Amino acid sequence: MNTYFNEITSKPINKTDSNIVYKIPAGAMCGNGDIGVVFDNDEKDLLIRISKCDFWKFEEGAHSSGGIKTVGALRIGNIDLSEYNIKQYFDKGLLDCTFGKMSMEFFVAPENIIYFGIRIPESEEIPTADIEIPDTCGSENFAVSENGTKCCTRKFSGENIALDTAVSVCIREISSDVSDGFRVMRYCVSVVTNFDDVNYTEKAVEAAVNCDYNLSKEKTCKKWQDFFAVSKVTLEDKEIEKFYNSSLYHLAGCMGNKEFPPGLFGNFVTDDFFPWAGDYHLNYNYEAPYYCIFSANHPELFDGYMAPVNEMKEEAVKFAKLFGCKGYAFPVSFGPKKLDIYSMKECKEHGILFLGQKSHAAYTCVIPIMHWFSTYDKEYALENYYDFVLNTAAFWEDFLVKSRGRYLIKNDAAHEIPYYRGKKFSYLSHKGQIEAVNAINSLGLVKLLFNAVYDMAKELGLNAEKYPLWEDIIENLSDFPTFIKKGKKCFRYSKRGIRWRDENTVGLQHIYPASQIGLSSDEKTLKIAKNTYFINDRRLDDNGSNSYLPAGARIGVDPDFLIEGIHQNIKEFGLPNRLFRHHGGGIEHLTMVPATVNEMILQGHEGIIRLFPCWNKKMYASFENLRADGAFLVSSEMKNGKISYAKIQSLKGRMCRVDCPDTVTVTKEDKTEIPFERNGNIISFETKENETYILNIG
Domain segments of the chain: what residues? 5-232, 621-697
CA-CA distances (angstroms) from residue 639 to 233, 297, 335, 620? 14, 23, 47, 5
pLDDT by residue (tens digit) across 663-686? Answer: 899 999 999 999 999 999 999 999
483: alpha, beta or left? (left if phi > 0; alpha if psi -120 to 50) = beta
pLDDT at 20: 41
Helix, strand, coil percent content, the chain, rounded in steps of 5: 30, 30, 40
Give yes or no for residue 21 having a pLDDT over 50. Answer: no
Rounded distance between C-alpha atoms, residue 43 and residue 32, angstroms: 29
Any idea how long the chain is?
698
pLDDT tier for residue 427 given thresholds of 50, 70 and 90: confident
C-alpha 557: how far from chain center: 24
98: alpha, beta or left? (left if phi > 0; alpha if psi -120 to 50) = beta
pLDDT tier for residue 17 given thresholds of 50, 70 and 90: low
**R_g of the chain, CA atoms, integer Å:** 26
Give yes or no for residue 451 having a pLDDT over 90. Answer: yes
pLDDT by residue (tens digit) across 570-628? Answer: 999 999 999 998 877 789 999 999 999 999 999 999 999 999 999 999 999 999 999 99
pLDDT at 586: 86
Rounded distance between C-alpha atoms, residue 86 and residue 6, angstroms: 8
Cβ neighbors of 226 (< 8 A, separation 6 or more) are none
Please report how many Cα atoms fall inside a 13 Å half-sphere around the Cα of residue 292, on the Cβ side.
31
Rounded distance between C-alpha atoms, residue 368 and residue 383, angstroms: 12
pLDDT by residue (tens digit) across 60-83? Answer: 988 889 999 999 999 999 999 999
Rounded distance between C-alpha atoms, residue 698 and residue 692, angstroms: 20
> In what order do the strands lie in the sheet containing 602-603?
602-603, 609-611, 656-659, 682-685, 677-679
What average pLDDT does the chain have? 95
Listing DSSP states for 35-71 in one string gives EEEEEEE-SSSEEEEEEETT-EE-B-STTSS-EE---
625: buried, middle or exposed (CB in 10 Å: 19+, 13-18, 0-12)? middle
Measured N-to-C along each axis, helices 213-229 and 238-252 cross at an angle, to the nearest 10 degrees, of: 120
Average pLDDT over residues 530-535: 96
pLDDT by residue (tens digit) across 365-417? Answer: 999 999 999 999 999 999 999 999 999 999 999 999 999 999 999 999 999 98
Give yes or no for residue 241 having a pLDDT over 80. Answer: yes
Listing DSSP states for 584-614 in one string gives S-SSGGGGHHHHHHHHHHEE-TTS-EEESTT
Average pLDDT over residues 548-561: 98
Please name the amino acid found at residue 330: F
* Secondary-structure class of domain 5-232 per CATH: mainly beta
Give yes or no for residue 348 having a pLDDT over 90. Answer: no
Rounded distance between C-alpha atoms, residue 377 and residue 462, angstroms: 15
Comparing CA positions, the residue from 506, 505, 512, 514 lying closest to residue 477 is 514
Comparing CA positions, the residue from 682, 689, 664 lying closest to residue 674 is 664
pLDDT tier for residue 18 given thresholds of 50, 70 and 90: very low
Q: 588 — phi, psi (to 5°)?
A: -65, -30
Average pLDDT over residues 263-275: 93
For residues 463 and 456, is the Cβ–Cβ distance under 8 A?
Answer: no
Helix/strand number for the chain, H first, E second: 16, 35
Q: 612 — phi, psi (to 5°)?
A: 50, 50
* Secondary-structure class of domain 621-697 per CATH: mainly beta
The torsion angle over the Cα atoms of residues 51, 55, 58 and 63, rounded to 10 degrees, is: 10
Alpha helices by DSSP H, 400-544: 431-434, 440-460, 467-476, 523-533
Rounded distance between C-alpha atoms, residue 146 and residue 542, angstroms: 49
Comparing CA positions, the residue from 574, 571, 550 lying closest to residue 561 is 550
State pTM to two decimals.
Answer: 0.97
Please name the amino acid found at residue 569: N
Give yes or no for residue 554 having a pLDDT over 90. Answer: yes
Rounded distance between C-alpha atoms, residue 328 and residue 526, angstroms: 33
pLDDT at 602: 98
pLDDT at 15: 60
The torsion angle over the Cα atoms of residues 271, 276, 277 and 278, rounded to 10 degrees, is: -80
C-alpha 328: how far from chain center: 23
pLDDT at 14: 66
Comparing CA positions, the residue from 29, 17, 578 lying closest to residue 270 is 29
State how beta strands 280-281 and 333-334 pair: antiparallel
Percent of the chain predicted with pLDDT > 90? 89
671: alpha, beta or left? (left if phi > 0; alpha if psi -120 to 50) = left
Average pLDDT over residues 525-532: 98
C-alpha 100: how far from chain center: 37
pLDDT at 418: 81
Percent of the chain predicted with pLDDT > 70? 98
Rounded distance between C-alpha atoms, residue 6 and residue 293, angstroms: 22
Rounded distance between C-alpha atoms, residue 544 and residue 547, angstroms: 5
Rounded distance between C-alpha atoms, residue 232 and residue 343, angstroms: 44
Give yes or no for residue 151 having a pLDDT over 90. Answer: yes
Average pLDDT over residues 154-162: 95
Average pLDDT over residues 167-171: 98
- Going 589 to 284 to 261 to 651, the CA torsion angle's sign is negative
Q: Do domains 5-232 and 621-697 have the same CATH topology?
A: no
pLDDT by residue (tens digit) across 187-211? Answer: 999 999 999 999 999 999 999 999 9
